[in-house]
Homo-oligomer: A and B are copies of this chain.
Amino acid sequence: MHRVKVRVAEDALDANATIASANRADFDRAEVAVVNLMSAPGAGKTTLLERVLGDGATIGDGVRVGVLEGDVQGSLDADRLAHLHVPVVQLDTGSGFGGECHLDANMVRSALPLLALDDLDLLIVENVGNLVCPAEFRIGEDARIMVSSVAEGEDKPLKYPLMFRTCELVIVNKVDLLPHVDFDFDKFLYHLHAVNPGVAHLEVSARTGEGVDALRTWLARIPERLGAPA
């Protein structure tokens, strides 16, 4: 039974890679850089986006941002972002996708007609809150960012290594809680660099605003780093 299961999973990942390449080609044509934003449930992805995008339709030097919101059910997160000045599209994995615990390339592809890619320089895709499966499915992104909250404990890179290994930036969020939780920051960084040597990290508090400017700058520079004129 397990051999069959593994084969089905491999077929699904092969199909995903093909569709991810098609997404990638569309993003390249439109000169849009794409970020896959991942974390455990409640790590603060949506609040961070509210903070980063709260001031207008662009970040940095005129970088036009759009958001694709992935959720298992409902449109709570997209509703929270609706007051922002950036285009937000909701992708509900419970409708037509069987309540999947992650976004895959095909789900993202189904949302592309709803996005005016030509009007964007940076598309941020907020994945489903989950530290396992989202890491296995490329969606055609340029960069992966994951958010890890200090309330989750410093052992997470060791317990969910694929997620931490495949990202270009780790946002350590809720640093305002550091005095109130048992989180050994040095140990976290030691574990993080054990699975992803030298990966960049930013210390942020979506609640107090600490580190949000640095994150906005990091995001705004992605299109430039990729050579796509913003």
- The answer to the question of A223 belonging to the interface, with a C-beta cut-off of 8 Å to chain B, is no
Which 8 interchain pairs have the tightest Cβ spacing?
A42-B152, A101-B132, A151-B151, A40-B41, A41-B131, A42-B153, A101-B133, A180-B180
- Give CA–CA (A12, B149) in the complex, Å: 33
CB-nearest residue of chain B relative to A134? Answer: B101
B72-A159 in contact (CB<8A)? yes
- The answer to the question of A214 belonging to the interface, with a C-beta cut-off of 8 Å to chain B, is no
Q: Encode A74-85 as 1/0 by CB contact (under 8 A) with B.
A: 101100000000
A216 neighbours in B (Cβ, 8 Å): none
A41-B101 in contact (CB<8A)? no
A99 neighbours in B (Cβ, 8 Å): 132, 162
- The answer to the question of A128 belonging to the interface, with a C-beta cut-off of 8 Å to chain B, is yes
- The answer to the question of A5 belonging to the interface, with a C-beta cut-off of 8 Å to chain B, is yes
B159-A177 in contact (CB<8A)? no
- The answer to the question of A229 belonging to the interface, with a C-beta cut-off of 8 Å to chain B, is no
This chain's copy number in the assembly: 2
A9 neighbours in B (Cβ, 8 Å): 98
- The answer to the question of A141 belonging to the interface, with a C-beta cut-off of 8 Å to chain B, is no
Q: Which of B5, B162, B181 contacts A177 (CB 8 A)?
A: B181
A162 neighbours in B (Cβ, 8 Å): 99
CB-nearest residue of chain B relative to A93? Answer: B132
- The answer to the question of A218 belonging to the interface, with a C-beta cut-off of 8 Å to chain B, is no
CB-nearest residue of chain B relative to A177? Answer: B180
A159-B97 contact, Cβ under 8 Å, with A149-B151, A181-B177: no
A159-B71 in contact (CB<8A)? yes
B74-A158 in contact (CB<8A)? yes
A6-B98 in contact (CB<8A)? yes
Q: Which of A164-191 contact B (CB under 8 A)?
A: 174, 176-177, 180-182
B41-A160 in contact (CB<8A)? yes
